[in-house]
Amino acid sequence: MEGFDLGLFMQPVQSVAIIGAGNMGSGIAQKTAQEEFDVQMVDREAQWVERGQSIIANFLSEAVERRIFSPQQVEDIQGRIAGVVGTENTAKDTDLVIEAVFEDFDIKTAVFNTLNEVCGQNTILASNTSSLSVNDLAKASGRPDRFVGLHFFYHPAKNRLVEVIPGEDSSDETIARTVQYCRGLGKVVILCKDRPGFVVNRFFVPWLNEACLLLQEGIASAAAIDAVAMKAFRIGMGPFALMNLTGPPIALHSTDYLAEQLETPRYVGAENLREMVEAGNQWDIGEDIECSEDAAQTIRTRLLGQVFAVAGQIVDEEICSLEDVDRGAKVGLRWARGPFELANRLGIDEAKVMAEDYCELANFPLPSVWNREDVFDFNYVDLDIRDSIATITINRPEAMNALNETVVGQLGKAIDAANSNDSVKTIVLDGAGKAFVAGADVKFFVDKIRADSFPDIYDFTADGHDVLGKLESSSKTTIALTTGLSLGGGLELALSCDYRVGTRKTQFRFPETSIGIFPGLGGTQRPARISGIPAARWAVLAGNFMDAKTATDLGLVTHLVDVTEVDSTILEINSTGKPDNKYPSKPTNPDSKVAQFAESFYSDKNMPAILSGKCPEGFDLEDRNVSRQIKSLSRTAPIALRMASDLIDAAGQTELGDGLAKELENLEGIFSTSDALEGLSALIEGRKPTYQNL
């Protein structure tokens, strides 16, 4: 959604109050506390606050059993949640208050009237709503400039999507601070206009109702409709199973609401759904999935056509971008592909016919976005220039911002635009969602190896080198905002920048040798030049995970700051300019345990033993650090390990450009091995690879 200033450099949200301790409110409170915000969980009576705390305790207890959290982490999370009885007792200096009570306008208005009286003038008020008008709620709140709508998806601690809906009068700072908070939760954020259904429910709710109409018309059984839908959309549950999971009353209420608000009779709840709700029953799905091919085609055409038509309306009405429509489907609903990706896959002509058929049924015109013959193009890189700072955001969070041909091409163009802009002094690279960049698109490599198309792999990697070279040689100060996960190619991208700003959420890793290849975008060159050869061997050869502290000790993170200090750190770097020495070839903290261990274990004299799978002389396998290294090294592909080691050695003997050229020269050698295909395939298939040194 365009038209809002989402720049940096504002005081971040730290204290959050959640009004309503039910399933949704307690889930938002839990997720907020997990991400180390200070939380108040507020409800009318102590019993409801206690119930919310019990819901959280049960959820976290299960997480401990599944080894997601340790008992100490759970204790810390719960310690950040203060129970508060009475909305009037919400702390005055709270940064953000999220109302999560019943979907009733009068009840919500009463809550906001109280909050407007007790909260300070800088407090942002937000409503977690899936259907009510944000503009109407904003006017009723008493502070429309500091009001915003939020739509968390259930369960808020698990589902990564949140829709942020500004009101007409929401200030840029209100929107920016709220988006920053949501990103701090690791959420994928869709910024959208205030229209009924917002984005996801706008096409998903009528989709559920259309399934009910198909059943009501006797096209097929509920089980058959579910089965056809699951295959057509590549999803794990069909519409009837989904309604049983969330409750048919929610589906009926939502579709009737959209029918009224959008004046679309087609959306009025189907009679069988209405009868189901009145009887207090759920769908009896059964196991009869058989239906004729004609029936299956009708189901596919109606359900796909409905989604294509309504997704087109969303884009026509500029509620959000077509990329965000697809993002909402993939992240919020866990569809394999979004509506527009589905259309490309199916073929634009066929998708358009399906959309036209549904538009005729629903009696609305074909959205203008379908007046096309070409496939939909998607933009995954955003460029925002403000003052002297250009922020380039890789916006593909549904795929952890993984690098593919499209992203690399768009990233190169964005860097060119920033480099050629005389007003830009600093370029900041960022990644949307919880990751900076989680590597390259592995499926691309597997497909090209199997198709015997190595030149495509070479060209993709060479293009990647060119893009990283634009950052390496830039006259601007370059910063990678690595406040999340950075793996493989993503870490290589970050290391081409002058600085890497990290927070406690920063995690680095080079996983390549364990998946049959070596890091080919400078991963064998830049770490050695930054941290020294022993530290580079520790990071690259064994693929060790690096937390924020370790990465900082080695110099891979240059500025480790609290999340509240990220913006001021960028301003400080912008003022300072480029570093005096980007490549000191030694750890920033040589006295750290990791740096000392790397210096000792990965010394030149020990490398023959390490590369032959043996423990170096003088080291005890009973030592935990030693045994961990030997175990990690034993899981690597032997050829990839040797080639990575040779390339790291070359980093100490050549100029950077020559070292990068050597990576490209060795590319065919590694990708032609059987172990490369085995390692990459195993990663996709979720299994352990078996390497044969071939």
Q: How far is CA 681 from CA 248, 387, 446, 487, in A?
A: 41, 46, 6, 18
Instruction: Please tell me whether residues 330 and 404 are part of one structural domain.
Output: no
3-state secondary structure of 532: coil
Give the CA-trace dihedral at 94, 98, 101, 103, to 10 degrees.
150
Burial of 65 (0-12, 13-18, 19+ CB in 10 A): exposed
Are the CB atoms for 427 and 479 separated by under 8 Å? yes
The model's pLDDT over 660-670, given as tens digits with 9 standing for 90+, comes to 999 999 999 99
The model's pLDDT over 199-258, given as tens digits with 9 standing for 90+, comes to 999 999 999 999 999 999 999 999 999 999 999 999 999 999 999 998 999 999 999 999
677 pLDDT band, cuts 50/70/90, is very high
Rg (alpha carbons) of the chain, rounded to whole number: 27
Instruction: Please tell me whether residues 366 and 390 are part of one structural domain.
Output: no
Give the pLDDT score at 72: 95
Residue range of the domain that includes 394:
381-685
The model's pLDDT over 164-207, given as tens digits with 9 standing for 90+, comes to 999 999 999 999 999 999 999 989 999 999 999 999 999 999 99
CATH number at residue 514: 3.90.226.10
Give the pLDDT score at 86: 97
* Res 694 pLDDT > 90: yes
CATH number at residue 349: 1.10.1040.50
- DSSP 8-state secondary structure symbol assigned to residue 374: S
Q: What mean pLDDT do residues 335-348 have?
A: 96
- Out of 331, 347, 370, a domain closes at 370
Instruction: Please tell me whether residues 555 and 474 are part of one structural domain.
Output: yes
Instruction: Please tell me whether residues 222 and 113 are part of one structural domain.
Output: no
The model's pLDDT over 150-160, given as tens digits with 9 standing for 90+, comes to 999 989 999 99
**What is the H or E stretch that residue 384 is in?**
strand 381-386
Instruction: Please tell me whether residues 176 and 226 are part of one structural domain.
Output: no
* Res 679 pLDDT > 60: yes
Give the pLDDT score at 6: 44
- Out of 170, 191, 212, a domain closes at 191
Give the pLDDT score at 12: 87
* Structure-block tokens of residue 608: 């023959």
Instruction: Please tell me whether residues 329 and 208 are part of one structural domain.
Output: yes
Give the pLDDT score at 38: 96
CATH number at residue 157: 3.40.50.720
CB atoms within 10 A of CB 316: 14
Give the pLDDT score at 9: 52
Note whether residue 4 is domain-resident.
no
Query: Which residue type occupies 330?
Result: K
Q: What percent of the chain has pLDDT over 70?
A: 99
Note whether residue 674 is domain-resident.
yes
Instruction: Please tell me whether residues 187 and 208 are part of one structural domain.
Output: no
Note whether residue 6 is domain-resident.
no
3-state secondary structure of 560: strand
Note whether residue 170 is domain-resident.
yes
Q: What mean pLDDT do residues 412-421 have?
A: 98
Instruction: Please tell me whether residues 436 and 562 are part of one structural domain.
Output: yes
Note whether residue 9 is domain-resident.
no
* Res 561 pLDDT > 70: yes
Note whether residue 1 is domain-resident.
no
- Out of 191, 222, 241, a domain closes at 191
Q: Which of 7-16, 209-218, 620-629 has the highest mean pLDDT?
A: 209-218
* Structure-block tokens of residue 203: 């096409």
* Res 7 pLDDT > 50: no
Q: What mean pLDDT do residues 528-534 have?
A: 98
The model's pLDDT over 95-131, given as tens digits with 9 standing for 90+, comes to 999 999 988 899 999 999 999 999 999 999 999 998 8
35 pLDDT band, cuts 50/70/90, is very high
Note whether residue 272 is domain-resident.
yes
* Res 306 pLDDT > 50: yes
Instruction: Please tell me whether residues 659 and 593 are part of one structural domain.
Output: yes
Count of domains for the chain: 3
CB atoms within 10 A of CB 684: 12
Instruction: Please tell me whether residues 30 and 153 are part of one structural domain.
Output: yes
Instruction: Please tell me whether residues 204 and 153 are part of one structural domain.
Output: no
Note whether residue 262 is domain-resident.
yes
Instruction: Please tell me whether residues 347 and 436 are part of one structural domain.
Output: no
